[in-house]
Amino acid sequence: METDISRAFIEAIPKTDLHVHLDGSLRLSTLIDLARESGVELPSMTEAGLREQVFKDRYADLGEYLVGFAYTCAVLRCKEALERVAFELAEDNLAEGVRYLEVRFAPQLLAHEGLSMEQTVQAVTDGLERAKRSHNTSERVKSGFDLPFEFGIIVCAMRRFSKAMGEHYHQLLTALELAPRRDVYAIASLEMARTAVGLRDRLGLPIVGFDLAGEEAGYPAYYHKEAYSFAHSHFMKKTVHAGEAYGPESIFQAITECHTNRIGHGTFVFSADMVQDLDVADPQVYTERLVEYIASQRITMEVCLTSNLQTTPSIESMAMHPLGHMLEHSLSVSICTDNRLVSNTTICDELELVSKNIPVTHHQFRNLVIAGFKGSFYPGSYTRKRRFVRKVIERYDELAVRLLPDPGGAA
């Protein structure tokens, strides 16, 4: 099943990561440094200890996977920490050939009395911009030998939250104690959408998209349709975590209620047996039509292989992952990391998983890589984006001729 697409080729080609959470992608050494500086107590103060106790290769379930975020979020509640982590994340991506990066996080989760949502976004912007300036002024880029680096920020609203998840959420839940919880979640996501549009339009911050993250089952996307309608009416691009822990209906809601441009994960897009709506006469036909719609409208699926293997017990191996079916149905798929620290992965690792475990042709692999650039919420004009994508394609094809044994084969 392993292809002749080598690790050396994967490392050389330009790449994207469209689905990477800032608070799940710290360097382990930085987490320890920031914990010492901020007085946050970790289960271990060594990298080996944290790998053994918190950030593992395999997790028992999603609950265990999420444990580490309590520690990472705790150390990210100041501007200096956010800027440092954003800068290092960009540097780590640059080092492995990523040339377009979309970093996502939830400002409401990190905000408190001494740190506004605006300040969280500005700090992340500052860190990413510092890495971009350093790379784009290098002689390799100026001479045309290397591609420039571009980035965008995606802000996340949460499907659900509790008082324990942050000061901002605590205050909101306290103020609306008597309101139905679903209404409170909707109010918070609308606030986040309005803030995101305001920061983009008023301050020019590079917010390129709006996302809905968090617990999926039991907390449907339609709770948040007002927030998405606001983002949609202000020309902000949208993605939704959907089909990660719930079935095709969740993806359908993301498309019809939230006007989404991309789907985060989409793991259960083919799972007709998970359709629960009694008004759906034929779940299989419903699912087939959904898949065809996604394919025809080029709604990009942000697929995170290692994360799915770690959090979805029914996917016991790469052979059971639906990526192969996605490719068979000509879906637009971009391979992403989700959480570099929590999943102990990189974008090169994820693409190597594809090359070693999925019977993918050179043409399909090329499409996977280019889909990240084409499906990106690029912050510049569409004309600029097309020029950027064209340069990427030219570079990819040049490297394929040099590094693949038969670049035109198995098309």
Residues whose CB falls within 8 Å of the CB of residue 259, separated by 6 or more in sequence, listed in order: 228, 229, 232, 238
Measured distance CA(387)–CA(263) in Å, rounded: 25
Kindly state the DSSP code that residue 338 receives in the 8-state scheme: B
The whole-number average pLDDT for the span 311-315 is: 88
* Segment 333-353, tens digit of pLDDT: 999 999 999 999 999 999 999
Which tokens hold the place of 389?
A: 């994508």
Which tokens hold the place of 152?
A: 């965008």
* Catalytic entry in 83, 150, 244, 352: 244
Which of 108-117, 147-156, 230-239, 243-252 is predicted least confidently? 243-252
* Segment 378-405, tens digit of pLDDT: 999 999 999 999 999 999 999 999 999 8
Higher pLDDT, 58 or 171: 171
Measured distance CA(255)–CA(262) in Å, rounded: 9
Inter-residue contact 58 to 310 (CB < 8 Å): yes
**3-class secondary-structure state, position 315:** coil
Q: How many Å separate Cα 163 from the centre of its chain?
A: 25
**pLDDT at residue 119 greater than cutoff 60:** yes
**pLDDT at residue 410 greater than cutoff 60:** no
* Residue 244 is a catalytic residue: yes
**What is 7-403's CATH superfamily?**
Metal-dependent hydrolases (3.20.20.140)
Residues whose CB falls within 8 Å of the CB of residue 213, separated by 6 or more in sequence, listed in order: 21, 104, 106, 156, 157, 158, 159, 241, 264
Residue listed under structure tokens 């790449």: 15
Q: Give pTM, 2 decimals.
A: 0.96
* Segment 10-50, tens digit of pLDDT: 999 999 999 999 999 999 999 999 999 999 999 999 999 99
Shortest CA distance to 226 belongs to which of 186, 184, 259, 168? Answer: 186
Inter-residue contact 348 to 5 (CB < 8 Å): no
Q: What secondary structure does DSSP assign to 58-122, as a single string? A: S-SSHHHHHHHHHHHHHH--SHHHHHHHHHHHHHHHHHTTEEEEEEEE-HHHH-BTTB-HHHHHH
At 39 the pLDDT is 96
Q: What secondary structure does DSSP assign to 16-61, as a single string? A: EEEEEEGGG---HHHHHHHHHHHTPPPS-SSHHHHHHHTS-SS-SS
Order of all β-strands in the sheet with 150-158: 15-21, 98-105, 150-158, 207-213, 237-242, 262-265, 300-303, 333-335
The share of the chain scoring above pLDDT 90, in percent, equals: 90
**pLDDT at residue 409 greater than cutoff 60:** no
Handedness of CA 215, 217, 219, 224 (dihedral sign): positive
Inter-residue contact 269 to 301 (CB < 8 Å): yes
What are residue 299's phi and psi, to 5 degrees? Answer: -80, 110
At 155 the pLDDT is 98
State the chain's mean pLDDT as an integer: 95
**3-class secondary-structure state, position 327:** helix
Kindly state the DSSP code that residue 158 receives in the 8-state scheme: E
Element (H, E) at 288: helix 283-296
Residues whose CB falls within 8 Å of the CB of residue 88, separated by 6 or more in sequence, listed in order: 26, 27, 30, 127
Which tokens hold the place of 270?
A: 């083919």
Residues whose CB falls within 8 Å of the CB of residue 177, separated by 6 or more in sequence, listed in order: none
Q: In sequence order, which ranges of 297-404 are alpha helices (DSSP H)?
A: 305-311, 323-328, 347-357, 362-374, 382-403
Kindly state the DSSP code that residue 140 receives in the 8-state scheme: H
Residues whose CB falls within 8 Å of the CB of residue 402, separated by 6 or more in sequence, listed in order: none
Element (H, E) at 191: helix 181-203
At 1 the pLDDT is 58
**pLDDT at residue 267 greater than cutoff 90:** yes
Confidence of residue 360 (pLDDT cuts 50, 70, 90): very high
